[in-house]
A and B are shown apart, each in its own frame.
Chain A
């Protein structure tokens, strides 16, 4: 073996390695350079007046039509009206986006405008100083936005995000089953709800479809009961301070246990995913479950799992999660979540104006008219949604003065996972209301 050959081989390896690493850097460079260079090159106020070219990098997750086209149209319209602004749209699928964003943030390539769900995830990004405080920037027009929704993107009283969608978890039910069981008045309190479950059981129906494999669905019950028992003050305190010792959380577990003790769930519910074959939605679709506690997306999921037997929303009804008599929480408070946008720390000032355009009444009405499951949060846009199922959810949302963000998003993924797991021991294992709270507290304290 000669040295020349060895040298040649080394050179080849070096080239291959350089190509591997270089490729990664090359793909990410264009997305960041324009956005981060722009503000440095031009004084914030001057850039728009002078019409200096600005690029806004925008990451969203509406990767299917009609949402994909609507976002593109809105961006095109904005660019037509502001010739100096270029919007660089980056579309990623939901899960792919989370991975992509994590990578971008780790590299320090913060997009100018990007998808956020608020809550603990947003707080982590804020604490890592990736997100711009937009409190002052939106002060002039934030009254146009549903305050309940806006509050979900606040961190320590400051605005770090702008919602464009807020959905609500509620009780979906098969209207036919309720009629046959003679349930005419929809349950407004937890006791009435338990009585309705008993009536359904007596008629030989499976009262509740639950997707036990996806533990977040079971955790909805506990979380909603906690919202009822603890109220906004109690929830805020626990979520923000990590102190879950208020007895109201044990009470929530006790309320849930009353339901579990009735064995209201479909056969094999512990292995049922929320979507697909053998799922909770499939149980609803095939009348193997009368009620399912789920978000506004359920009608679409039921349709997809019905084997074309049911059209969108066919035979479905909706009512708000029942109130708990004598509890601290308002009976119309909600549990839900939605989508919004956060502004990157180095975003050009035009980003705020573009964001305003995205959540303008006109844009919101166009979103609503699509009836795609996005429930716009701009005040006055409610009527644009015409789908009867989604309108029911919107009516419920209008009554809610406070909407608790899904607990696994309001806290951290870590604590959220622990909550889902702990609640599952109530309906799938030998957990007690106290042991559930103990497990949650242990996870919260460990952070």
Chain B
């Protein structure tokens, strides 16, 4: 049977058929896996989110959108959203500018540049859980930070930051920044190296100061990279989980709860699979809408022309 159809295909070389067959062939493996491991679980989560379900009983207790109402009314979940938002804002306001400054510095020629690049990038290579464990050991009372600050006469300034509801988010943000600034730095550095040096030289010849050259030549040309960096930073901050779960488990008293931590706790610790799924759906929709909006309005200029038609 296959020999007949393939023979016919050879006899009638329809370009359109060949194109579609090619597209299907290339898409099918990825599509099958995508459906199995992405679309299907999302659909399942969406279905579970409409039930009050502990994972054991049959899925019969249909509650409509009650899980969503409950989540959005829960002060703990609202707190988690605020914490995520705060991490996003802090990342954009502090982490990215910091990484940009380092990238600009390390893009100039000087001795030890390679070693510095390596050092700054190193934290990103360490697994998130390891980072969290080491940070906990450093920051705990009688830990490295405590001993070090006492040794240099700043013992009074030590504070168990991770154990104080008022400071825990800042401590976590510090750890996040430590881990991820190197990644953004490398991204931006790669972007900087794609900018021809002649352009800055031309600006200098035209009388632009170094600062003006950066402001009016380098930064605009670095725009696409910055926008990608910002995008990754936002998505990362919204999905923040591992680091928080290992260091504080969202505590003390929910002061460092994030949406993902809340979802995991309700779903897999408290076995409220229906409710946890609802939280997961909220998180998904939020990320999805944000990603689409960002693509549509911010990354549009960068991606235009990247796709080839016809």
Contact = CB atoms under 8 A, between A and B. Distances in A.
Interface of A: 1-7, 9-10, 13, 17, 102, 105-106, 124-125, 127-128, 212-215, 266-272, 277-278, 412-414, 416-418, 421, 424-425, 428-429, 446
A124 B21 contact: no
Contact of A17 (B36, B58, B137, B143): B36
B91 interface: no
B111 interface: no
A3 B165 CA distance: 64
A268 B2 contact: no
Interface residues of B, number: 47
Task: Rank and list the top 8 A-B pairs by shortest CB-CB distance, nearest first.
Answer: A268-B160, A271-B163, A270-B252, A278-B140, A268-B163, A429-B253, A417-B270, A428-B253
**Chief secondary structure at chain A's binding surface:** helix
Contacts of A6: 21, 24-25
Nearest to A21: B36
B70 interface: yes
A189 to B, nearest CB: 30
B81 interface: no
Interface in B222-250: 247-249
A414 B25 contact: no
Interface stretch (B49-57, B93-101, B148-156, B301-309): B49-57
Interface string B20-35: 0110110011001000
A416 B269 CA distance: 10
B270 A102 contact: no
Nearest to B249: A213
A306 to B, nearest CB: 14
Interface in B51-77: 54-58, 70, 76
11 contacts: A2-B9, A3-B5, A5-B25, A17-B32, A106-B56, A212-B251, A270-B164, A271-B160, A271-B168, A414-B270, A424-B252
B254 interface: yes
Contacts of B136: 271, 277-278
A421 B75 CA distance: 13
B178 interface: no
A7 B137 CA distance: 57
Interface in B206-231: none
Contacts of A2: 6, 9-10, 21
B269 A413 contact: yes
A1 B22 contact: yes
A13 B21 contact: no
Given A106-B55, A127-B57, A278-B143, A271 B21 contact: no
A9 B36 CA distance: 17
Given A213-B248, A417-B265, 9 more contacts: A3-B9, A9-B25, A9-B28, A106-B56, A124-B56, A212-B252, A270-B253, A277-B137, A412-B271
B176 interface: no
B113 interface: no
Given A268-B163, A428-B165, A428-B252, A128 B25 contact: no
Among A17, A213, A416, A425, which residue has the most Cβ atoms of chain B within 10 A? A213
A124 B57 CA distance: 8
Given A6-B25, A267-B160, A446 B70 contact: yes
Contact of A271 (B9, B70, B248): B248
A1 B25 contact: yes
Contact of B54 (A3, A414, A416, A417): A414
A414 B270 CA distance: 4
Interface string B151-173: 00000000010111100100000
B253 A128 contact: no
Contacts of B54: 124, 412-414
A272 B58 CA distance: 39
B163 A269 contact: yes
Nearest to B273: A102
Contacts of A7: 2
A429 B165 contact: yes
A395 B245 CA distance: 39
B146 to A, nearest CB: 9
A345 B164 CA distance: 49
Interface in B269-293: 269-272
B2 A4 contact: yes
Contacts of A212: 163, 251-252
A379 to B, nearest CB: 33
